[in-house]
Every structure is written in structure tokens, then in C-alpha cells.
Chains A and B, each alone.
Chain A
Amino acid sequence: MSLLSDTLALYKREMLIFRANIRVNLIRTAIFPLFILLIFGATGQGINNVPVVVVNYANNMQSQQFINSLGSQGIMSVESVTNQNDALALLDAGKVSFVIVILPNFPTYNGQSAVRIYYSNTQYSVTSEILPMIEQRAALFAGPGNYQVKQYLPSSTFGAALSTPVNGANGSETDFIFSGVIGMIVVFSALFAGGMGLITDRNAGFIKAYLVAPINKAAILFGRVLAGSVQSILYITVVLLIGLIFGSQIAMGWTGLFWIFLLGMILMVCFTSVSAILASRLKNVTSFAIFAQAVGLPLWFLAGGIVPVSSLPSTLQTLSIIDPMTYAVDGFRWVILVGTYPLANMITDISVLLGFAIVSTLLSVILFKSTID
């Protein structure tokens, strides 16, 4: 009871300060997506160089002609690997969109087709446009019906979030960047609103004034976290509006907004707590600002904000798994680019984010309380 009312009182205080600085907050929120979209949004229009990997077990003239014809128009960028497992591992990691396995004795039918075509469900619109093209070539070189098409499902739940869709119903680079920028804005707002405020308030003596009052100490943090998640609605709205100006669309439509705001708010809670943890260890605003920059930007890159996670070096991908922003960006991508949000991804994203939010909030409360006595 007391915790709730104290939290609300301090939430109200945070919001009053937020409202007093609304102009600065809006401008700061708008500048970043504006520039990112201006700079990166125009690149990579249309589908080309779709990565395809071929395993050629036949290694004869006909199979070579088949492979050459796949790469002839520049739509697909065809690479070869020597065995099927390596090829499927690439597909699993989201590094390629298709795996084509050419069986021995190609193009002869040997009871189980001469060609197998694997595709991953993370390459939504690529699949719909490129798969018929591959099938048509396979029919041409191996004979009609002498091929199999298989959907390849990612092997791990974390893998699902890592191989977040690169292309979708909305296939433009703007949409791709735009969905990553939402995560960036939320995380940076959280890092600065949470920890920076705590440090300035502590140095100004406000925290002391609250601690002297008969309130639950955790309310000082909870009020801030609550205010942060409410403020994130405004920040996300600003980014969405800018995206709209740049011609982006949310493929899922209005229901997509629900998911964007939900994921964004949980992400805000995560990072407000993280910044409170940082603030409990750092004494002045300057070192906090440096630290927040140093943490925020790499996390954004690791989350696939601007380059797909699947294009990152595999050592960095391990870090992406433990970066909570990865899961929020995954959700944004499905909703904005593809228009569906597969249940497996939804469950993974929401549960990882919620888990992180709970753990980081508890940790920040423990650290905060321990620095009081």
C-alpha cells in the first residue's frame, strides 16, 4: 500500500520534471532517428544479392550449368560449400536465405529427387519472390517434379531471435533501420533518464530528502522506472512518426503498434534499472554519461539495430544472445517488416525481456538499498 502510493508520488514528480523539459526531450528523441534514416534509409532498395549456398554432390556439367543460371541475373549471390551440414548451419544462423543441395547423379531421378531446396521462415518476402525462381530453374535443369522444397526451422529459440528477419513484406532498408532505431531511442532514453537523474538528484540532495521521509525506499526507484516506461510511449511515438514521414509502414498494421509499445516499455524498464545499477556505482554525471554512451551504442549494434545480427562475426553473436535489446529488435522486425509475429519468437522475446526486467529491477533495488546503510 505504502509502496504503491509512494511510487505514485515520486512517479508524479518525475513526470512533472519530464514535462518541464518536454521540448528538449522531444528534440533529442527526434534528432537521432532523423539522421540515421536520412543517412542509411536510402540504401539498398529492392531485392538483390540474396545469399544462396549450394552443395554440389553431383559435380557434373549439368549441375554446373544449373548453378550458373541461378547466379546469372545478379538477384542471387551464389556460394558453394562442400557438405550439407555446413550449409544448413549457415541457414540456421540466418547467414543465407536458401540452401540448394544437388544430389549425385543429377539430373537423373533416383527415387528421392535430384535437388533439395531449403528455405528459412525468417526471410519472409525473399522466400515469396525467390523460391518460385529457384523452383523454375530446378524444373528446367532436373526435370519437372524432380526436386523437393523444405522449410528449415531454426534449431534453438535463441537462434530464432538472432536470425531476425532481414527482409519482409516491407522490404526496404528504411524499414529495417527504422525498426532498429526504436530500440536505440528507448535504450538511450532509459540510460539517461534513469541513472543520470538519480545521480543529479543525489548530488542535489533530493534523494536524501526522500530517504528521510517515511517512505519505502524502493519507491524512489520504482517511481523512476514507472515514469520511464510511460515516457517511452512518447519516445516511440516520435520515432514512429518520423518513420512514417520517411515512408515506412508497419506491416502488421494497428495490432503491430500494441507489440511495439509493449516491447518498448519492457525494454525501457530493463535499461532504466541497468542505468540505476550503473548510477549506484558511479558518483558523477560526467563518468556516467561516458559509461552510458559506451554501453548503449555497442548494445545497439549487437542487437542488430543497423546490421542484421546474422551478419555479425559469430563471436559477437554470442554477445547478441545476452543483449536484451536483441529480443526487442527481433519483435520490432517481425511486426514492422513481416507483418506476423511467430509464436515461438513472441514467447522467446517477451519472456527474455520480462526476465531481464525483473532481475535488473531487483538487482538495482538491492544495490540501491545497500548503498543507503
Chain B
Amino acid sequence: MADIIRIENLTKRFGDLVAVNNVSLSIREGEIFGLLGPNGAGKTTTINMLLTLLLPTSGKITIDGLDLARNHEKVKQLMGLMTQETVVEAELTARQNLELFSSLYHVPANQVQKRIGEALEEADLVQFADKKAGTFSGGMQRRLGLVKAMIQEPKILVLDEPTTGLDVQNRTTMWARIKGLNKKGNTVLLTTQYLEEADQLCDRIGVIDHGKLIALGTPSEVKRIAGSGKILEIVVKNNDVARTASMLKSKFGIAAVVNGDKLTAVMTKNSESEFTKISGALDKEKIEVVSIGMHLPTLDDVFIKLTGTGMRDETGEMKGGRMNIRGWR
């Protein structure tokens, strides 16, 4: 498949801070690509450069064969954006929301009503067309936001954390909608905090941390980074954590990562028999176990391995470029 977005040696500096550091990656036409990283890792800065909201310090972005630096208007027409915060204008009705964006994307006047009709149907909002969007539920607002982003029939759909804050049911239907749009031929670029989401939806993912692309590939390729062994998780009563860790180290040679009352470790040897031995040992040592389990590596584990932090690291914000940006984003 041809590359629809090609990013070459992209760098963005804010003063001394390098928000995006020499990133190169390509997104293929028709795929769902997920950009992952802790808050402030550089994914929003990268997306903002793709959306022409920020100018790169150096590097080149080509979208659908067009050099972004010289074709702002044309490229903007090719991309639809849905962000977690900009979903809909609360004071406007669903129809007025769609009309506004039809005008802003210069949809030909004779097609506006037809497209709005289709969009309302697509979003299952026909009977709410003339109700204020502010009265809609979270799920309805996202649906409207999604068809709003599609109003100019863009080739590329950029979804910035499309399901943040949605309940499980709405998230699942959102995923189905995104997959549906992708089946119709749209390339989807999404950022997410939910690794499960990336795992479910994406054809390929890229992981960004400290402005650098640190992993790129299909979810299963990326998961392999965490190693072939299974992941052991033990939760114990808090005052037993240190004792458990030293026991695992001395008896089984396992270096566990301690996080609060939780111990995580990668199992290398024959994991099933080891697991039985470990649970026996815990029992013998009279360590109070809250839960114990073993699972195949998930993207979460990859993440912890690659970045040293979990995905939802609150203080991660400080590391990134966002803090220094004064502007309209």
C-alpha cells in the first residue's frame, strides 16, 4: 500500500525543550495507525504539526503526495479531526454544528443538505437533529463529533483520544464506527491512552516517548518487545511487599518491579511450573496474598518496559512541550 502520510526527520523545539526529536514514520493508505505515548511524550505536538497548527523546526511532512509546508489549504481539506475536548458546540443544534463545519470546509452549497442528512443518519441522530448538542449524552456527542469530522469527506481521519471518558458500552460502539469508516477506505490516525484500544483497533502502532519514536510495528510485533515470557502479577498486603520481592529474588532469581502493593515480573523459564512453585512458596512464607495471576504480555507491559512508566502518568505532562506553549491550542 502507498504511504499517505510520510514524516521525515521531524523535529520540534520549544526553546531548549525538544518536544519531537528526529521522528520518521510513514502511515499507509487505508490503515488504522495508533500513536501511543505518555502525556507530554510528543504525540500531541506531532499531531499538531500534521494538522498545520504548529510549524516544524525541521523535517518534512508529505501528505497524499503534497508537501505540507507548501500546501496548507489542500492538506487541511484532506484531514478530518476529532479531539476529546472539541467534540461539539453545546449551544448549537446537531444540524447547526454540521452546517458550521460544512461552511468552514467549503462543502459545495448544493451538497450541504444531502451530506448533513447522511451524517445525521450515520450518527443515529435524525430525531435529535434540532436539539442542542449540549443536551446530548457523552456517546451522542462523540457520534456527532465523528460525523462532523467526516463532513468534508476527508481521506484521513485524525482522532485524538476518541474514547477518553466514555463508558465501556459507548467505547465499544465507537470502535465499531471507527472500524466501519476504515473499511470504507479512510485512513485513521489515532492517539490513545488506552492500550487495549490500540490493540483492538490498530493495524500498526508507533510508541513515542521523550519526543523519540521508540517502537513501531503491528501490535503483536510491538508486544514481542516485552519478551516471550508471560507476566506474573502478585498483589500482597502492603507490609509484605519487600519480603515478597526479596523472596522472589533469592529463591527464583526473579527481579520484580514493585509498584505500591503490586509486584510485576517477566517469567523466563517454564512459566506454568514456576508459577505453582511461587504460589507454594508464598503460602509457606505466610505472606498474605490478595491476588496472584499470570498473563500474556499486553501493550501495558511493553509500555512499562519501554518508557519506565505507566500510560496514565499524571506528572508526565511536565516533561513534554505542552507546558511551554502559549497559543490557541
Name the distance in Å between A49's Cβ and chain B's nearest Cβ.
52
Name the distance in Å between B159's Cβ and chain A's nearest Cβ.
13
Residues of B within 8 A of A13 (CB): 89, 92, 96, 100
Q: Judging by beta carbons under 8 Å apart, are A371 and B328 in contact?
A: yes
Which of B77, B132, B327 touches A20 (beta carbons < 8 Å)? B132
Residues of B within 8 A of A208 (CB): 53, 83, 86, 328-329
CB of A212 within 8 Å of the partner chain = yes
CB of A211 within 8 Å of the partner chain = yes
Q: Judging by beta carbons under 8 Å apart, are A209 and B327 in contact?
A: no
Which of A2, A205, A212 touches B79 (beta carbons < 8 Å)? A212
Please, which residue of chain B has its CB at the minimum distance from the CB of A215?
A: B104
CB of A61 within 8 Å of the partner chain = no
Q: Judging by beta carbons under 8 Å apart, are B105 and A214 in contact?
A: yes
Q: Judging by beta carbons under 8 Å apart, are A9 and B103 in contact?
A: yes
23 CB contacts below 8 A, A to B, read A5-B103, A8-B103, A13-B89, A16-B91, A16-B96, A17-B91, A20-B92, A205-B85, A205-B86, A206-B86, A208-B53, A208-B328, A209-B83, A209-B86, A211-B328, A212-B76, A212-B81, A214-B105, A371-B326, A371-B328, A372-B53, A373-B54, A373-B55
Name the distance in Å between B74's Cβ and chain A's nearest Cβ.
8
Name the distance in Å between A165's Cβ and chain B's nearest Cβ.
43
CB of B101 within 8 Å of the partner chain = yes
Which of B52, B100, B101, B329 touches A12 (beta carbons < 8 Å)? B100
Q: Judging by beta carbons under 8 Å apart, are B104 and A17 in contact?
A: no
Q: For the complex, give the distance between the alpha carbons of A204 and B85 in Å.
A: 6
Residues of B within 8 A of A8 (CB): 103
CB of B167 within 8 Å of the partner chain = no
Residues of A within 8 A of B105 (CB): 213-214
| CB contact under 8 A between A213 and B85, given known A208-B328, A373-B54 | no
**With A206-B89, A214-B106 given, can you name 18 additional A-B contacts, CB distance below 8 Å?**
A5-B103, A6-B103, A13-B89, A13-B92, A17-B92, A208-B53, A211-B52, A211-B53, A212-B53, A212-B79, A212-B81, A213-B76, A213-B101, A213-B105, A215-B104, A368-B328, A371-B327, A373-B55
Give a binary string over A14-29; 1 marks a CB under 8 Å from any B CB, 0 the rest.
0011001100000000
CB of A207 within 8 Å of the partner chain = yes
Q: Judging by beta carbons under 8 Å apart, are A214 and B91 in contact?
A: no
CB of A202 within 8 Å of the partner chain = yes
| Interface bracket on A | 20 to 34
Q: For the complex, give the distance between the alpha carbons of A373 and B72 in Å.
A: 13
Give a binary string over B289-329; 1 marks a CB under 8 Å from any A CB, 0 the rest.
00000000000000000000000000000000000001111
CB of B51 within 8 Å of the partner chain = yes
CB of A210 within 8 Å of the partner chain = yes
CB of B16 within 8 Å of the partner chain = no
Residues of B within 8 A of A12 (CB): 100, 103
Q: Judging by beta carbons under 8 Å apart, are A21 and B76 in contact?
A: no
Q: For the complex, give the distance between the alpha carbons of A272 and B74 in Å.
A: 32
Which of A16, A20, A204, A214 touches B76 (beta carbons < 8 Å)? A214
Name the distance in Å between B146's Cβ and chain A's nearest Cβ.
13
Give a binary string over B50-73; 1 marks a CB under 8 Å from any A CB, 0 the rest.
011111000000000000000011
Q: For the complex, give the distance between the alpha carbons of A206 and B87 in Å.
A: 8
Name the distance in Å between B169's Cβ and chain A's nearest Cβ.
25
Q: Judging by beta carbons under 8 Å apart, are B86 and A21 in contact?
A: no
Name the distance in Å between B269's Cβ and chain A's nearest Cβ.
50
Q: For the complex, give the distance between the alpha carbons of A274 and B132 in Å.
A: 31
Please, which residue of chain B has its CB at the minimum distance from the CB of A216?
A: B73
Residues of B within 8 A of A9 (CB): 100, 103-104
Which of A2, A20, A215, A372 touches B328 (beta carbons < 8 Å)? A372
Q: Judging by beta carbons under 8 Å apart, are A212 and B91 in contact?
A: no
Query: Which of A207, A208, A373 has most chain B Cβ within 10 Å?
Result: A208
Which of B51, B85, B106 touches A212 (beta carbons < 8 Å)? B51
Q: For the complex, give the distance between the alpha carbons of A5 and B103 in Å.
A: 8
Residues of B within 8 A of A205 (CB): 83, 85-86
